[in-house]
Amino acid sequence: MSEPTTPRPARKPKEPEPIPDLDLPVRPPVGPMLAKPVKAMPKQDGTLFYEPKWDGFRCIVFRDRDEVYLGSRNERPFTRYFPELVEAVKAELPERCVVDGEIVLPSGSELDFEALQQRIHPAASRVKMLSEQTPASFVAFDLLAVGDEALMDAPFADRRARLEELFPQKGRSVRLTPVTKSDEQAGEWFEMFEGAGLDGIIVKPGDQPYTPDKRVMFKVKHERTADVVIAGYREHKTGPIVGSILLGLYGDDGRLHHVGVAASFPMARRAELVEELKPYLAELGEHPWGHWAEQAQANLGRPAATPATGGQRVPGAISRWNAKKDLSFIPLRPELVIEVAYDQMEGDRFRHTAQWRRWRPDRTPESCTYEQLERPVSYNLDDILAR
């Protein structure tokens, strides 16, 4: 078996931005409060609040007069990537406040996470251009501080009430997420809002303080299944066992397109998969994605080729989030089919890691097409934010 092509070394990532010394009762960095997944919508117990789950970049906004800091979950702030949001925060939020929310990118009546990812770019000139061509918005859903008052120890019900006071009128780029205390209405939102690009419901106990980095909230997300082709695998960081399996679907053009990975396996199962997949090892030059490194390198810094653009979606050669990560793969003949569970699509691929469900020996690879995927009914984003 030939070795995968090695891409050119990636440019060294920039050093993290310094954290400013802000005159606020809550100062960065602050890890956001998190949610743990649950299968069913929690029933109302008298304390719960239900909100749409926004599909974007989690961000805590710190504003101290003319100083704005957009904090992220991974200690690399978003401030330099979203200059239009810095100006929006100055225009639409109080002079001194700390607000938790989500950076999103509306495109028409829907959210576009793929376009949002393109906003993270090292070149200042491109950052400026994209801020004008694809401006982002900020959806607020929690208040950690305002003026000299720290609110992290206050219950969420009180923080939400104070947050609503900051939005007497509809904002332009900084918006307030809708909320309901009705589990029935939350169930309706769960079905309706997906068509606008939202991916579930967040459930918050109203008596909880703000607890950084703790999963004290709940999230309910969609789960669907699809039959997909196994086209290769990447080795695990610990050695020559399966780390993730590369998945494909056939498009209308008859080509196999990379749609994501399945990766959650026990360690013993990862070793077993190496033996099960060994009979299907293929030469990279004979593989449908044999040109993966060249195409991924050519697309670096630009939107990836997709079936919709007449291109073939192939695995990436360089990670947008970790330039040192090795994304080469072991090619396999595309003859095996498995069923996976997924939550939502991001354009032509799975938004998150898919979950292996079972082998599908009764399906032919050619029958695994995009046609089987369920498409949510469209819903207007502005109608959600107007609630």
User: What are the tens digits of pLDDT across the range 194-216?
Assistant: 878 788 999 999 999 999 999 99
Dist CA 165 CA 177 (whole Å): 13
If asked whether residues 38 and 137 sit together in one domain, one would say yes
If asked whether residues 201 and 286 sit together in one domain, one would say no
Q: Measure Cα distances from 71 to 22, 66, 159, 188, 331 in Å.
A: 13, 16, 20, 32, 39
Whether 1 has a pLDDT exceeding 50, the answer reads: no
156, 216 contact by CB (below 8 A): no
Q: Which of 12, 53, 90, 278 is catalytic?
A: 53
Can you tell me the mean pLDDT for 41-70? 96
* Tally of domains in the chain: 2
Range of the domain at 112: 34-222
Does 386 reside within a domain? Answer: no
pLDDT value at position 38? 93
Catalytic status, residue 237: no
Can you tell me the mean pLDDT for 106-127? 89
Can you tell me the mean pLDDT for 222-229? 89
Question: Which of the pair, 39 or 376, is modelled with greater confidence?
Answer: 39
If asked whether residues 244 and 112 sit together in one domain, one would say no
Does 17 reside within a domain? Answer: no
Q: Return the DSSP state at 129.
A: H
Whether 333 has a pLDDT exceeding 90, the answer reads: yes
Task: Give the pairing of strands 96-104 and 57-64.
Answer: antiparallel
If asked whether residues 186 and 317 sit together in one domain, one would say no
Most confident of 57-61, 70-74, 218-222: 57-61
User: What are the tens digits of pLDDT across the range 146-187?
Assistant: 999 999 999 999 999 999 999 877 778 999 999 999 999 999
Does 356 reside within a domain? Answer: yes
Question: Which of the pair, 384 or 79, is modelled with greater confidence?
Answer: 79
If asked whether residues 194 and 340 sit together in one domain, one would say no
pLDDT value at position 79? 96
What residue type is 350 in one-letter code? Answer: F
pLDDT value at position 298? 56
Does 4 reside within a domain? Answer: no
Q: Which residue from 64, 368, 35, 58 is spatially nearest to 229, judged by alpha carbons? A: 368
Which helix or strand (DSSP H or E) is residue 139 part of?
Answer: strand 137-146
pLDDT value at position 19? 86
